[in-house]
Amino acid sequence: MPPRTPASPPPRRTQLERRQDAEQRLLESAIELIGQKGVNGLTLSEVGEKAGYSRGLVSHHYGSRDAFLRVVAQSLRQRFVDAEQQTHHEPGLDALIANVELYLSGSSPASRAVNVLLTEAIVAGGSLLEDMRAFTATSRKYFANQIRAGIARGEIRGDIDPDAQAAMILGMLRGVAAQALLDEKVQKGKMRAEMVATIRRMLSVS
């Protein structure tokens, strides 16, 4: 039996790959910490430490705390965009409902962080306000586009204002999500079923 050839060592990651991995771990740590303790108590050093890096790595990569929070907000926005695009439904009412169910499907660190950042943007304003305003506009646009598609398919009433309805739906979703974070007696499962039934009544062709 011929001797075994030693296995080749795994290829070394490039500097870009290492940097991308570090940035992703820093973002994940920040999202978890923001969901746990809010924005005011967050320090860049503890983000780096939680991610398993030096305390100064966040400052090295992003400069300031405000700049890093903006990157966190943009990352969360992209996550929700990606989730919307992964819905396996034709554009229209079913895609809208699927996204509503996804929004109220649980209390992940990301969903908690979004609520915290929305509150911080409203109260404190500043550069974060611009990012959370863009986040909100992206969500409204998605719902409005699904309503328009549903109208075109004949499954949503034609007398509905897509933009106004989109704002109402997003407002209901965020309101329920915020209540669930404040009070564990608010059960997302029950609220999700009620929300879906309400939206179908509001939008569906009789």
The CA dihedral of 171, 132, 89, 206, to the nearest 10 degrees, is: 20
Q: What residues are paired with 155 via a beta bridge?
A: none
DSSP 204: B
User: For residue 162, which of 138, 146, 150, 144 has the smallest C-alpha distance?
Assistant: 144
pLDDT at 106 over 70: no
Question: What is the rounded CA–CA span in Å between residue 146 and residue 97?
Answer: 10
Residue 85 pLDDT: 75
Q: Averaging pLDDT over each range in 110-119, 161-170, 188-197, which range is the top one? A: 161-170
Class of 15-203 per CATH?
A: mainly alpha
Name the burial class of residue 98, with classes exposed (0-12), middle (13-18) and buried (19+) by CB atoms within 10 angstroms of its CB.
middle
Cβ contacts of residue 6 below 8 Å, gap of 6+?
none
> How far apart (Å, rounded) are the C-alpha atoms in residues 146 and 141?
9
Mean pLDDT over 65-71 rounds to 92
Per-residue pLDDT tens digits for 119-145 = 999 998 888 999 999 999 999 999 999
What is the structure's pLDDT at 50?
A: 92
Instruction: Indicate the pTM of the whole model.
Output: 0.83
Q: Give strand pairing partners of 204.
A: 156
